[in-house]
Amino acid sequence: MTTDPRLLRRRAFLTAAGAAVAGAAALPVLLRAGGPDLPTDRPELPDLPEIPLTTDADGVRVARLVAESTGTGLAYNGTSPGPLLRVREGDTVRVEFTNTVDAPSSLHLHGLPLTPEVDQPLHHVSPGESHTQEFPVAEGCAGTHWYHPHAHGDVERQLLAGLAGPIVVEGPLDREVPALAAADDRLVMFTRAGRDVVANGVDQPRITARSGLTRLRLLNSTAGDHLLLGCLREDGSAVPTHLVTTDVGPVEHPREVEEVLLAPGERAEVLVETVEAGRLALVRLPYSVYGPGGETNEERTLAVVEVPAGHAPMPPPDRLLPVEELDPADAVRTRQVVFGATPDGSFTIDGRIFDMDRVDAEARLDTLEIWEVVNEHGSDHPFHLHSYPVQVLDRDGVPEPYRAWRDTVNVPAGSTVRLLVPFRHGAGRTVYHCHILNHEDLGMMGVLEVTG
Ligand code: C2O
Ligand code: CU
């Protein structure tokens, strides 16, 4: 029996990363000394401006994004974080991207399940050039996504300089689940500003709850910070929080969670019960990317949720939308992908540094594979695959307790995560990589070729 509180916590709680332990609910609530930091007089969380979409003669919804230099940094359409791209499932969308930055860049729509032909992660847009992506917004991908550059070798710098923005896809989830339709809907996009993680560009903003249920769309668009998030009352106890979506769509039944681990690139939407008047802290909890017992970040309040008196209780829904069940027995193969590093500080997959002219993995369209992602390195690496959403099968042999579609899955130091990967909707050449952008820039990326 261990006495390390971090270990206990990691075992005792259910996280979005799926670490479920039987009997977790019976364990005492957070092992912590006091209440969270609750700063006062903070500015309200700003809503990010929305990109005005136009509709062309064919009914295509058109959005324009320009990457530009602001003098002190980089921005999309003049703002950082970039403006919100809001689309609906079933829309046909055309995103026209222009690069006016003084370096090759590109626009990757992270989370929209686009075919390799549309996504083209290896295509760079030269200064002064434009590039267009036109696509139908897939059914079932309602949720919170984002966009960022993908110019290999320079991604981290461009993101830290200001190039990242949010995407919200609306769908039946938002209309057909009454509790979601009635909840106060807040997008909280985390980026890094200097040493601090900020929300929608603001340090420790206030979120004034506008109803008895608050839907927090949590988006980790930092370049490399794992965010273990929790919502705490003044006395340090956890507020009932219900996980409703992971990266690429809803879970079937909301799951009560006390913590959500968001690796860089990852999203989760949670419903927080905001009925009791008072102040809550949305807190970044200590987490070690070096495995249990490793050095952690310090706890820090990322936002203060103010709950005014008078909100009627709104029960969270007990059912969202069905999530397709994949049968591992249908897999045509199991493929191993190994994260590692070289002694001189490069990061590798299967012992190799990224080469855009080399195909590292070949697969057939309309097949299912199991990808066994092995992290042999001493720190966590979030696995990200373009174009083909995945489901987690198990983590270190522990079956995933619920079904959900994801595009980014944390693989903790020294562990193995098995994924179900169906190749659907389009063939072509794409990439998989670690979503710590410095690691990606330094070579932790591979090329996947899917043939029809
Ligand atoms: Cu969000 Cu290949 O990236
Ligand atoms: Cu990594």
32 lines ligand 1 (CB under 6 A): no
Residue 242 tokens, joined? 């219900």
**Among the bound ligands, the one closest to the CA of 220:** 1
pLDDT at 258: 94
Residue 421 tokens, joined? 């990967």
| CATH 2.60.40.420, applies to 174-307 | yes
Domain ranges of the chain: 174-307, 328-451
Radius of gyration of the chain (CA): 21
Query: Could you give the CA distance from residue 332 to residue 319 in angstroms, rounded to a whole number?
Result: 32
- Quick: pLDDT tens for 334-372: 999 999 999 888 899 999 999 999 999 999 999 999 999
384 lines ligand 1 (CB under 6 A): yes
CA of 191 to the centre of ligand 2 (A): 18
CA of 40 to the centre of ligand 1 (A): 36
Query: Span 285-301, mean pLDDT?
Result: 96
CA of 128 to the centre of ligand 2 (A): 31
Residue 277 confidence (pLDDT) above 60 = yes
443 lines ligand 1 (CB under 6 A): no
Query: Could you give the CA distance from residue 434 to residue 444 in angstroms, rounded to a whole number?
Result: 6
Bridge partners (DSSP) of residue 383 are 409, 434
User: Which distant-in-sequence residues (6+ apart) come within 8 Å of 91 by Cβ?
Assistant: 61, 136, 137
Judged on CB neighbours under 10 Å (0-12, 13-18, 19+), 113 is buried
Query: Span 32-57, mean pLDDT?
Result: 94
267 lines ligand 1 (CB under 6 A): no
Residue type, 194: G
Nearest atom of ligand 1 to the alpha carbon of 110: 1
pLDDT at 32: 60
In a 3-state reduction of DSSP, which class is residue 322? coil
User: Which distant-in-sequence residues (6+ apart) come within 8 Å of 447 by Cβ?
Assistant: 122, 354, 355, 356, 358, 359, 360, 361, 429, 430, 431
Query: Span 306-316, mean pLDDT?
Result: 95
- Would strands 227-232 and 260-262 be described as parallel, antiparallel, or unpaired? antiparallel
Query: Could you give the CA distance from residue 182 to residue 314 in angstroms, rounded to a whole number?
Result: 9
What confidence tier does 34 reach under pLDDT thresholds 50, 70, 90?
confident
433 lines ligand 1 (CB under 6 A): yes
Taking alpha carbons only, the member of 326, 352, 349, 323 closest to residue 338 is 349
Query: Could you give the CA distance from residue 338 to residue 353 in angstroms, rounded to a whole number?
Result: 12
CA of 377 to the centre of ligand 2 (A): 9
Nearest atom of ligand 1 to the alpha carbon of 408: 1
Max intra-chain CA distance, the chain: 67
Query: Span 404-414, mean pLDDT?
Result: 97
265 lines ligand 1 (CB under 6 A): yes
Name the residue at shortest CA distance from atom 1 of ligand 1: 110
Taking alpha carbons only, the member of 55, 263, 63, 48 closest to residue 166 is 48
pLDDT at 27: 40
Query: Could you give the CA distance from residue 300 to residue 448 in angstroms, rounded to a whole number?
Result: 39
CA of 367 to the centre of ligand 1 (A): 23
Range list of β-strands (E), 70-118:
74-76, 85-88, 92-99, 108-110
Backbone conformation region of residue 161, classed left if phi is above 0, alpha if psi is from -120 to 50, else beta: alpha
386 lines ligand 1 (CB under 6 A): yes
Query: Could you give the CA distance from residue 31 to residue 9 in angstroms, rounded to a whole number?
Result: 8
149 lines ligand 1 (CB under 6 A): no
pLDDT at 345: 85
Query: Could you give the CA distance from residue 114 to residue 386 in angstroms, rounded to a whole number?
Result: 8
Nearest atom of ligand 1 to the alpha carbon of 111: 1
By mean pLDDT, which of 22-31, 56-65, 139-148, 392-401 is the weakest? 22-31
Query: Could you give the CA distance from residue 264 to residue 407 in angstroms, rounded to a whole number?
Result: 11
Nearest atom of ligand 1 to the alpha carbon of 386: 2
Residue 138 tokens, joined? 């897939």
Higher per-residue pLDDT: 355 or 34: 355
Residue 2 confidence (pLDDT) above 90 = no
CA of 279 to the centre of ligand 2 (A): 36
Name the residue at shortest CA distance from atom 3 of ligand 1: 110
| Planar angle of CA 63, 149, 162, nearest 5 degrees | 90
What average pLDDT does the chain have? 92
Instruction: Please name the residue that has the structure tokens 């609530």.
Output: 29
| CATH 2.60.40.420, applies to 328-451 | yes
pLDDT at 33: 67
CA of 354 to the centre of ligand 2 (A): 13
Residue 23 confidence (pLDDT) above 70 = no
HSE on the CB side for 180, CA within 13 Å? 25
Residue 269 confidence (pLDDT) above 80 = yes
Query: Could you give the CA distance from residue 293 to residue 289 in angstroms, rounded to a whole number?
Result: 10
Higher per-residue pLDDT: 30 or 188: 188
CB-based contact 232:179 (threshold 8 Å): no
- Quick: pLDDT tens for 161-173: 999 999 999 999 8
121 lines ligand 1 (CB under 6 A): yes
HSE on the CB side for 237, CA within 13 Å? 7
Residue 91 tokens, joined? 């829309």
Nearest atom of ligand 1 to the alpha carbon of 121: 2
Instruction: Please name the residue that has the structure tokens 């932790």.
Output: 444
Query: Could you give the CA distance from residue 174 to residue 183 in angstroms, rounded to a whole number?
Result: 10
Taking alpha carbons only, the member of 51, 130, 141 closest to residue 91 is 141
In a 3-state reduction of DSSP, which class is residue 338? strand
426 lines ligand 1 (CB under 6 A): no
CA of 44 to the centre of ligand 2 (A): 34
CA of 380 to the centre of ligand 2 (A): 7
pLDDT at 31: 53
Taking alpha carbons only, the member of 356, 341, 330 closest to residue 444 is 341
